[in-house]
Amino acid sequence: MASIFEFPIDKMPNFWEQTQDLSEYWKLNNDWLMKEYGFKAVSFEFLPEDMHVIEDILCVACAKSPRGDADHAVVWRNGLIHDPHFSNAGLAENPNTFTVFIPEDPHKSFNPHLA
């Protein structure tokens, strides 16, 4: 999210320190994102044949990390745009989970330099 919304990574709260519950994590994350930027993060899982749904959409893609069994997130638009990890190794497999950002105000938009 820091890469997409172009803010310093240290501004992003580490909600995993507050909870290990995935549902609570996303609630904390979305409350903060809505307050700071007026957007809500919404995640989807797609089958390969449904990938057209996110075509040309700037989002976060998740899959297994090439550095172990953990998941990793990258900035994605029809493919990898930015890997926040210094190795720039991307993902170990094709992503099937994507997070898009929906504005509270449908007339609000952002224009990141990554786009």
**Of 19, 22, 21, 2, which is closest to residue 11 (Cα–Cα)?**
2
DSSP label at residue 5: H
| pLDDT bucket at 14, cuts 50 / 70 / 90 | very high
User: CB-based burial of residue 1 (10 Å sphere; 0-12 exposed, 13-18 middle, 19+ buried)?
Assistant: buried
* pLDDT computed for residue 113 by the predictor: 45
Question: Against a cut of 0.85, is the pTM above it?
Answer: no
Query: What CA–CA distance (Å, rounded) separates 66 from 24?
Result: 27
Residues 44-89: tens digit of each pLDDT: 998 889 989 989 999 999 999 999 888 899 999 999 999 988 888 9
